Structure 1
Amino acid sequence: MESRRENDPRETFGRALRAHRQGARLTQEELAARAGLGIRTLSDLERGVAGPRPATAALLCTALGLGRPAAEGFHALAGASWRSARP
């Protein structure tokens, strides 16, 4: 049985972000620098503590070099995560 946290859109986005980062063979520090984000922000996103703003998701897509199909899926996850993080 899956826990509530595993079904959280922020957690799902965080796992996807980590997988893309690791697939690109980047450290958190390297990706944060490429995207112009703070390391704490990136860490919070990967841990599912925060949901990315739409502009942050776009920066991450560019920094990760995601092509159109992957970027569309990434943005969909980001949007769900952002909506769930807002009160």
Structure 2
Amino acid sequence: METRQRTDPRETFGRALRGHRQEARLTQQELAAKAGLGVRTLSDLERGAAGPRPATAALLCAALGLGAPDAEGFHALALAGWHAARR
């Protein structure tokens, strides 16, 4: 019997957030300051310990300077993470 472990959408969002942050060459402290968030909040999001609120995702998107295609995908991941956190 095969056991599949579902990936939590919060973890998927966290990996995407970390990837975008690293591509932008920002530390957690720098991105948190640009987005107006706390470093702990950003850390929780990257670790998948918290689900991003839609407004938080918008702040992060702007702070990361994501263009239309990346921003749309980022928001979709954030929405899935938000719904997972609310269950």
TM-score (norm 2): 0.94
What amino acid sits opposite 2:56 in the alignment? Answer: T
| Aligned twin of 1:69 | 69
Q: Which runs of 4+ in 1 moved over 6 A?
A: none
Figure out how many residues of one structure are paired with residues of the other and give that number.
85
The answer on 1:26 being equivalent to 2:36 is no
What amino acid sits opposite 1:24 in the alignment? Answer: A
1-structure distance, mates of 2:69, 2:4: 28
| Aligned twin of 2:37 | 37
Structure 1 SS opposite 2:55: helix
1-structure distance, mates of 2:69, 2:11: 21
Provide closer, same or farther for how the CA distance between residues 20 and 2 of structure 1 changes in structure 2, counting only shifts above 3 A.
farther
2-structure distance, mates of 1:3, 1:66: 31
| Aligned twin of 2:80 | 80
What amino acid sits opposite 2:28 in the alignment? Answer: Q
What amino acid sits opposite 2:68 in the alignment? Answer: R
TM-score (norm 1): 0.94
1-structure distance, mates of 2:72, 2:19: 16
* Aligned sequence identity (%): 79
2-structure distance, mates of 1:36, 1:14: 18
Gaps of 5+ in 1: none
